[in-house]
Amino acid sequence: MSASHDRVLAALELREPDRVPTLDVMEEYSNIYEILGKKPLPLGFLFSHQYTGKVVNKVAPLINKLRIFDSEMDKFSYDRTAAAIKMGYDSAWVMHVPIWRVRDSKTAVDVYGRYYDFNIDKKGNLVTPMYKGGLITSPSDWDDWDKRGIFDLPGRANAVFSRIQKDFGDQIFIFGSFLYGLFENCWQPLGFDRFSIAVRKDSDFIRRMIKFYENHYCLMLEAWADAGLPGVVYSDDMAYHSGPMLNPRLMEQFYGDALRRITETAHKLGMKILVHSCGNVYKLLNWFADCGFDGVHALEPTAGVELGTAKEMVGDRLCLVGNIDITHILVNARKEEVFEAVRASIKAAGQGGGYIAAPTNSHEDMGISQLRWMIEAVRKFGSYPLSEEDC
């Protein structure tokens, strides 16, 4: 086991490692290929140009039949892991998301029942599509939905992560992940209005959906464990900047048992499991611990989450992961600002262990220099025992 594995495990188990570990959450094509010195396929140009876009419209069925997007996702997950190693991270949150199908040059659908607009970044890369709404309007729609794409996911994940773990697993702690979590997979295909009504008036339908995705997630855990992964990120945005999207009492009522089964399954398979949720999650932190998660990410400072407060609330129950700002600090801040932000985060959450330094999310405007400074700052300020000045 590498030093990186040792320090990540120590932090997740709320012990003091040799130093604060780091987690890479980067999922942006332009940055990853810049780090590797590679050029991505010009898919953004093909989909956005007025002439080639017309060709895409005509050949969309063939693109889907040949699973071209899925193959690109397989390669991307491999490359983003290689990029994390090249940057010097201790761990990487590796998304593998072969779920989208092309409608035309402007829009896509996914295997769960959402529709999206294609999204082009400033450098012309085709990036994660932008969710626009759901295609499921009733229980019968969901019953009739073609779920073969969902059933394919565990097998494909096993193949892709087996290769990633074989080639990189002795160098970096890999957290496997995919989209989406149980909450998002219930409300987004319906739309939040329909979902909210169904919670009150057709709870049996919502519970059927939850059970389906609970079973599906446990199959994904089996696939990741068989591939040899040591960790998982359960990604499921459950909060706005103002607080939870659904009353915490209802979250427990509908999702508590399912999440406990997911965390118990991960642990029985020998894996650690983090929960990721954007937004202000103060009112969910103790519930995350009750559900059995080992740690929590993102702890957004722009949503009002302060690391020191989170440490006081659940620092003895959850490893805290993230809190490094992606709106300025990791975008265009000076080196001194990045160093000070990292030092402050370690001071707020690092004492006694149980903190992993990381950006709060992935963002196309994050700078490679700022990310390197973040890692450098962790190495400067994060060695245990932490200095009295910093803590």
Query: What number of helices (H) and strands (E) belong to the chain?
Result: 15, 14
The Cβ-side half-sphere exposure at 251, using a 13 Å CA radius, reads 24
Interstrand relation of 231-235 and 272-277 (parallel, antiparallel or unpaired): parallel
Q: State the alpha helices, DSSP H only, in 126-147.
A: 139-144
Mean pLDDT of 46-65: 92
| pLDDT at 388 (0 to 100) | 65
* Contact between 209 and 142 (Cβ < 8 Å): yes
Q: What is the mean pLDDT of residues 368-391?
A: 90
For the chain, the straight-line distance linking the first and the last C-alpha, in angstroms and rounded, comes to 29
Residue 379, pLDDT above cutoff 90: yes
CB 125 within 8 A of CB 48: no
For residue 256, give both structure tokens.
């508590």
**pTM as predicted:** 0.97
pLDDT at residue 8 tops 90: yes
Does position 192 have pLDDT exceeding 70, yes or no? yes
Per residue in 148-171, pLDDT tens?
999 999 999 999 999 999 999 999
Distance CA 255, CA 292 (A): 13
Mean pLDDT of 260-269: 98
* SS3 call for 175: strand
Question: Which is nearest to 96 in space by CA: 184, 25, 161?
Answer: 161
pLDDT higher for 51 or 90?
90
Architecture field, domain 3-27+78-100+133-381: Alpha-Beta Barrel (3.20)
Omega within 30 of 0 (cis) for the link into 180: yes
Question: Could you give the strand order of the β-sheet that contains 23-24, starting from the edge strand earlier in sequence?
Answer: 23-24, 91-95, 173-177, 231-235, 272-277, 295-298, 319-321, 355-356
Least trusted range by pLDDT, from 14-28, 30-44, 253-267, 370-384:
30-44
For the residues 240-255, what does the mean pLDDT come to? 97
Tokens for 245? 């999207």
Rounded to an integer, what distance in angstroms lies between the CA atom of residue 330 and that of residue 341? 10
Tokens in use for 149? Answer: 């794409």
Q: Tell me what pLDDT residue 149 has.
A: 96
Going by DSSP bridges, is the β-strand pair 91-95/239-240 parallel, antiparallel, or unpaired?
A: unpaired
Instruction: Note if the bond before 21 is cis, omega within 30 degrees.
Output: no
**Cα–Cα distance list, 154 to 141, 149, 181, 231 (Å):** 24, 10, 15, 16
122 C-beta neighbours (distance < 10 Å), count: 8
